[in-house]
């Protein structure tokens, strides 16, 4: 049964054809949301629900570096899940460095800023004072833990820190949720211990509790270190930020 509170929502997910992207789309479908799958590839994305019926979704192609082209689409989005990512593992060459920073950190940051501008504009014209659009940023446990992949860690840490730095301003227009996930099985991490569908279920459950910091991992240290890291950044950036 679709959850009536989510029935009217339009949800867009980047990295939609990946393991977590598909799992999140399926979960949102069960809640009755309208789905937009943002894919960088052109292969058609076909998802089936538990009854085997195809899940209706709108697939939109986008490219890192061309985030601005999504501006008009974002006008209709209520929840944007920034979920795309790559892992170049041990490759530390110049090309891998550029790609990791662009895909994992900078494109996500540009989408975030663009969505905040769009949301602020919508807020000015919103008469009902209704809910702010939401953005969910999938930074990963690699924000604070080793991931055995230097460029993955560096790029995810950069994204996490940019999110912390920009949060006070962005939060005026957007409800921000940070997804800090431990290892789950996917093309990016074939030996992850959790299943993407289970992780997606936990993410939605914590979002239902209205948590801004959503942590899903078997590693107990992350539940201690991640809140501490966000609190420390909030205090440090807060001290240095000019009014």
Ligand X SMILES: NC(=O)c1ccc[n+]([C@@H]2O[C@H](COP(=O)([O-])OP(=O)(O)OC[C@H]3O[C@@H](n4cnc5c(N)ncnc54)[C@H](OP(=O)(O)O)[C@@H]3O)[C@@H](O)[C@H]2O)c1
Annotated active-site positions, please?
A: 152
- Residue 181 binds to ligand X (criterion: CB under 6 A): yes
From 78-86, 109-117, 220-228, 233-241, give the range in contact with ligand X by CB under 6 A: 78-86
- Residue 188 binds to ligand X (criterion: CB under 6 A): yes
Smallest distance from ligand X to CB 24, Å: 9
Q: Rounded to 10 degrees, what is the CA torsion of 137, 143, 145, 149?
A: 100
Instruction: Kindly state the tokens that stand for 196.
Output: 């993407």
- Helix, strand, or coil here: 110? helix
Contact residue for ligand X among 28, 109, 136, 184 (CB under 6 A): 184
- Residue 40 binds to ligand X (criterion: CB under 6 A): yes
Comparing CB distances to ligand X, the nearer of 41 and 243 is: 41
* Helix 150-170 / helix 107-125 crossing angle, nearest 10 deg: 20
Tell me, what DSSP letter sits at residue 217? Answer: -
Could you tell me how many residues of this chain bind ligand X (CB under 6 A)?
28
Question: CA geometry: angle at 12 spanning 9 and 16, to 5°?
Answer: 135
Smallest distance from ligand X to CB 144, Å: 12
**Nearest by Cα to 214 from 161, 187, 176:** 176
From 46-54, 88-96, 177-185, 232-240, give the range in contact with ligand X by CB under 6 A: 177-185
**Nearest by Cα to 182 from 146, 212, 149, 157:** 146
Binding site for ligand X (CB under 6 A): 15-21, 39-41, 64, 83-86, 103, 138, 140-141, 181, 183-184, 186-189, 192, 196
């Amino acid at each position: 049964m679709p959850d009536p509170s989510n029935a009217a929502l339009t949800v867009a997910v980047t990295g939609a054809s990946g393991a977590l992207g598909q799992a999140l789309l399926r979960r949102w479908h069960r809640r009755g949301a309208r789905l937009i799958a943002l894919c960088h590839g052109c292969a058609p994305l076909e998802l089936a629900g538990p009854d085997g019926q195809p899940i209706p979704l709108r697939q939109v192609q986008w490219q890192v570096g061309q985030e601005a082209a999504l501006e008009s689409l974002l006008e209709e989005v209520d929840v944007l899940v920034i979920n795309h990512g790559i892992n170049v593992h041990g490759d530390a060459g110049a090309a891998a460095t550029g790609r990791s920073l662009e895909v994992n950190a900078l494109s996500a940051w540009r989408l975030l800023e663009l969505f905040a501008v769009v949301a602020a504009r919508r807020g000015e014209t919103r008469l009902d004072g209704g809910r702010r659009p939401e953005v969910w940023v999938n930074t990963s446990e690699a924000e604070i833990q080793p991931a055995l992949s230097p460029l993955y860690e560096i790029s995810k840490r950069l994204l996490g820190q940019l999110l912390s730095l920009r949060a006070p301003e962005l939060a005026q227009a957007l409800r921000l949720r940070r997804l800090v996930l431990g290892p789950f099985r996917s093309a990016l991490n074939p030996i992850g211990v959790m299943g993407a569908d289970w992780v997606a279920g936990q993410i939605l459950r914590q979002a239902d509790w209205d948590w801004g910091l959503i942590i899903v991992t078997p590693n107990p240290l992350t539940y201690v270190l991640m809140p501490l890291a966000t609190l420390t950044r909030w205090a440090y950036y807060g001290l240095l930020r000019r009014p």
